[in-house]
Homo-oligomer: A and B are copies of this chain.
Amino acid sequence: MADRPLSGGQTAAAILALALIVGLAGDACHVAAGTTTYEWDGVPTVWRSAIWFPVALAGSVLAAAWLSERAGTPAVRTRTRADAVVGAAVVLALYAVTALLNDTPATVSVVLVGAIAVAVWAWWDPSPGALAVALAASVLGPLAEVAVVSLGASAYGEQVDGLGGVAPWLPWLYFAAGAVAARLWPALRG
């Protein structure tokens, strides 16, 4: 891990790169497992995702990271680039775990993903500011996906569409991603 701080543009590029890796790999798990299906034909795909998915996801992560940095709410813990790799990898692992839960009762999947998401926040940066970003992500992310599903662009599997057409554990996956995104800017800038 290099020690020199990155410029603003470099930091943004690093966040986009990390979000693209996590988003594309995680979404590939969901498509492979049948957790989600893309419904529109003729849309270009990147790996297993329709092209609009990584664009929207990476843009959202960058916006969350940048707005959190601008808001200037105090962090409890100072995070390094190596910590950011741990955080992003743990969110990706959680993303992959959700692809294993298609036959799992919702009580179990929601408690499992929720407990890990809370642990991620309390480990990464147990601050009110990161909690606010995590909570906002846990509401806005699933609402956006409900809209996408309503448009018919994608669908969750029959056994995991119980929350307005999306998976019941989805808010907690966004919670974990939002908590990490909240401090990604200073962590990657160095």
* CA distance in complex: A48, B107 (Å): 10
A96 within 8 A of B: yes
Residue of A26, A112, A123 with highest tally of chain B CB at under 10 A: A112
A92 within 8 A of B: yes
Interface string of A95-127 (1 = CB under 8 A from B): 111011000111110011001101100110010
From B26, B89, B105, B122, contact of A32 by CB (8 A): B105
Cβ of A112 to closest chain B Cβ, rounded Å: 4
For chain A, give the interface size range.
Answer: 35 or more
- Judging by beta carbons under 8 Å apart, are B85 and A122 in contact? yes
Residue of A1, A48, A89, A116 with highest tally of chain B CB at under 10 A: A89
- Judging by beta carbons under 8 Å apart, are B33 and A123 in contact? no
Cβ of A168 to closest chain B Cβ, rounded Å: 12
Q: Name the interface residues of A117-159: CB closer than 8 Å to any CB of B.
A: 118-119, 122-123, 126
A86 within 8 A of B: yes
A interface list, Cβ under 8 A from B: 1, 25-26, 28-29, 31-33, 48, 76, 82-83, 85-86, 89-90, 92-93, 95-97, 99-100, 104-108, 111-112, 115-116, 118-119, 122-123, 126
